[in-house]
Amino acid sequence: MQTILVTGGCGYIGSHTIIDLLENGYEVICIDNNSRSHAAALDAVQKITGKNVQHYKIDLCNYEDTCAVFEEHTDISGVIHFAAYKAVGESVEQPLLYFENNLFSLINLLKCVDEYGVSHFVFSSSCTVYGNPDKIPVTEQTPIKTAESPYGSTKQISEQIIQDYAKNAAAEHILLRYFNPVGAHPSALIGELPIGRPQNLVPAITQTGIGKLPKMMVYGNDYPTRDGSCIRDYIHVCDIASAHTLALQYLLADKNAEACEVFNLGTGNGISVLEAITTFEAVSGTTLNYEIGPRRAGDIVAIYANNEKAINKLGWKINYSIEDMMRTAWAWEKEVQLKESIAKN
């Protein structure tokens, strides 16, 4: 049984990916400092899979602590690196925090990968590396433009670090540029659980729908799009998770043509913010209280993916529709409310 190290494994995408890895027969080790995640996510992983995950609550920005995990587990076959700060708006307000955390952690991890001879590395990148593209859908060859936020800049720089490192490294690498992960596991035992006010659209929608937030803000309705709101490529988190397992299997089977390959992960369909709200209302039977506000710094106008490379080379399949995304996100939100109600009583 091959052992995979997942960083940020208690987070939204990381925890769903751990489930997929366990269900595909891998042993998983998790590193997460839980500064923006909940260790309880791994309890849900255990309930879903029946398997325990060894968790190290350490900060990847601490090189010695990171090395200690590799020292203890000399049989790590691959690393999937999620751990990073990821709120676009916050990155605009606190750019140094984002550069320090997202880049130092990556460099420390790559140093350990190099020192301990780990052969396979999958990086959680983002469509933010494309900036405001001139043409959509974007392919992996779409030119990288100036990032619209410090968060996007950290992903661009991280990709460059990995690509430069890969030229002379023994390890093989994949960069997964995913678009907008949403939804929750069908069990409703695990999903996106923001700490504080949600920065992403769908948690803002579901928290408003259930009454946790009095209303939500739509940032701008004067963009040059079909209804004036931003357009994104929303992709179910379980589809994203399966792509990480497939990427790892692709590397383990020596199918990669280069030392560092890039794949887009999106549905290929652009959905506007207002269309996402309408879909949620139809699925949930709830009318959302929302307000149109000014544009938000760091937001791009419109982006969605050309996903043919991931489908053809990784054998990736998209199993969830936008309705499924909203339905599972809503089921998760109701489960969270139920747990909070029980805890209060």
Q: Can the peptide bond before residue 294 be classed as cis, meaning omega within 30 degrees of 0?
A: no
Angle at CA of residue 111, ends 110 and 116, nearest 5°: 100
The C-alpha atoms of residue 80 and residue 262 are separated, in whole angstroms, by 14
Coil, strand or helix at 74: coil
Contact in structure between 146 and 123 (CB atoms under 8 Å): no
As beta bridge partners, residue 302 has 231
Report which DSSP code applies to 305.
B
Residue 151 a catalytic site member:
yes
Active-site position among 98, 151, 165, 234: 151
Coil, strand or helix at 161: helix
Cα(first)–Cα(last) distance of the chain, in Å? 43
Contact in structure between 36 and 178 (CB atoms under 8 Å): no
Do you know the residue count of the chain?
345
Active site amino acids:
151
